[in-house]
Copies of this chain bind each other. A is one copy, B any other.
Amino acid sequence: MSASTAEITEYCLKTAQAARKASYQLASLDAEVKNRWLGESAAALIKSEKKIVAANQIDLDAAAGYGLSDAAIDRLRLDSGRIASIATALEEIAMLPDPIGEVIDGFTRPGGLQILKRRVPLGVVFFIYESRPNVTADAAGICVKSGNAVILRGGKEAIHSSQAIVDVLAKTASHCGLPENAVQLVSTTDRAAVGEFLKLGELIDVTIPRGGEGLIRRVAAEATMPVIKHFDGNCHVYVDKDADIEMAVEIIENAKCQRMGVCNACESLLIHEAIASKALPEIAKRLTERGVEMRADERAKSIVPSATAATEEDWSTEYLGPTISVAVVDTIEQAAEHINRYGSHHTDAIVTGNLKAAEIFTTLVDSSAVMVNASTRFNDGGVFGLGAEIGISTDKFHARGPCGLRELTTYKYIVRGDGHVRT
């Protein structure tokens, strides 16, 4: 793009101001209006298939020039099946209960003052994501349903596809009584625009970056507003001395291998010394069958000599591929300490038949989700029943774990008196 810095600064400011204005209108919209927009948008996307596919073709033609892998190009591609899935996702969001207006708490105080704590939108969401164009509609749907205006910053690789989708959403908005700037796509692909938006903490209430760790760290460092994020997912499975070994093998295989490149995949295995010599060979056998390399500490390597020796760096590495680090521990407490020290506070699991052990582990491990006898892969908004998910947070502030509609809201105290004054 040839826009000057001053032009980009002004564009970002105007976009954010328009979003702020739209957010005040959105805050008082009836659920019915938002749901009608979701439903009509779903229908309009299917009707606009030709236009969307044509726009997508422009992105596909440019993809090789961006150096996208075949897998990435496949994820970029839109056809009628995929457009139908995008539409279905919007219809599903329409069916979720509206979080806005929910009364979270309420009480009448001595003297008769009536206090309500009412759920309200955060306001303006700045959402940064990579090249999959289906995310464009998903994020717009989740933000608007929770009463927020959204500024979408998609990857340049999908810019024409995303613009075609947002055009449909915006056109439907004007039909349904939604403010026209409820959903805006950042039209410049200049990287400077991200920096400009991140300065606008007075106009934007939260930034949600989705993508590689480098992008997320940059956003977290520069943002003048709160950020919902997770940097990485160095997830652990701890096999307790009272574990069912067969169950442990199945859970580890699933957590490690079901999808290797995702944030809730298992990257590290801890095992109690009392069960290690019996369980570890069986676990190693299964992982080897699945092509997974083990990086083992001294004790684990003495049991599985074929494993590679782990270095200190391995304990904090998110491999996102066919490698797992393995360490033997003496106690549950030692396992928890290791996890809290090297992990990402994302998802960690214990395999045990012992109730007390489960209680100690779930209390001590400081992660967004702690699993007992279940795969780490279950940490997901859909699985948890949130219905739709805009991201996973490993922070403790505001929202932790999968973030759905409620996590994009805050509350407001509404106090009713009858001329009450304070004495």
A residues apposed to B, CB below 8 Å: 24, 27-28, 107, 109, 113, 115, 122-123, 205-206, 226, 244, 247, 250-251, 253-255, 258, 340, 358, 362-364, 366-375, 377-379, 383-385, 395-398, 400-401, 410-423
Contacts and interface: CB of A to CB of B under 8 A. Distances in A.
A410 B415 contact: no
Contacts of A371: 415-417
Contact of A414 (B24, B370, B422): B370
Chain A facing B: main interface SS? mixed
Given A374-B416, A415-B374, A421-B251, A410 B385 contact: no
Given A362-B414, A379-B413, 11 more contacts: A113-B374, A123-B396, A250-B421, A358-B416, A371-B415, A373-B417, A373-B419, A374-B416, A375-B417, A378-B417, A401-B412
A101 to B, nearest CB: 9
Nearest to A393: B410
A422 B377 contact: yes
Nearest to A420: B374
8 contacts: A27-B366, A122-B396, A251-B419, A373-B417, A374-B417, A374-B420, A375-B420, A375-B422
Nearest to A226: B397
A385 B250 contact: no
Given A374-B113, A398-B397, A247 B27 contact: no
Contacts of A415: 369-372, 374, 378-379
A250 B366 contact: no
A412 B226 contact: no
Given A27-B363, A400-B411, A107 B385 contact: yes
A123 B205 CA distance: 24
A393 B191 CA distance: 33
Contacts of A358: 416
Contacts of A368: 412-413
Contact of A400 (B109, B412, B418): B412
Given A366-B24, A397-B410, A421-B375, A383 B416 contact: no
Contact of A413 (B27, B122, B369, B414): B369
Contacts of A123: 366, 396
A378 B254 CA distance: 54
Contact of A385 (B109, B122, B369): B109
A383 B366 CA distance: 34
A415 B349 CA distance: 9
Contacts of A115: 384-385
Nearest to A118: B362
A103 to B, nearest CB: 12
Contacts of A417: 371-375, 378
B384 A419 contact: no
A97 B374 CA distance: 32
B420 A410 contact: no
Contact of A226 (B226, B366, B419): B226
A109 B384 contact: yes
Contacts of A416: 358, 371-374
A107, A250, A363, A397: most-surrounded residue (chain B CB, <10 A): A397
The 6 A-B pairs of least Cβ separation, nearest first, read: A374-B417, A254-B421, A369-B413, A396-B410, A377-B422, A398-B398
A420 B395 CA distance: 26
Contacts of A367: 412
A419 B372 CA distance: 8
Nearest to A374: B417
Contacts of A413: 368-370, 379, 384, 400-401
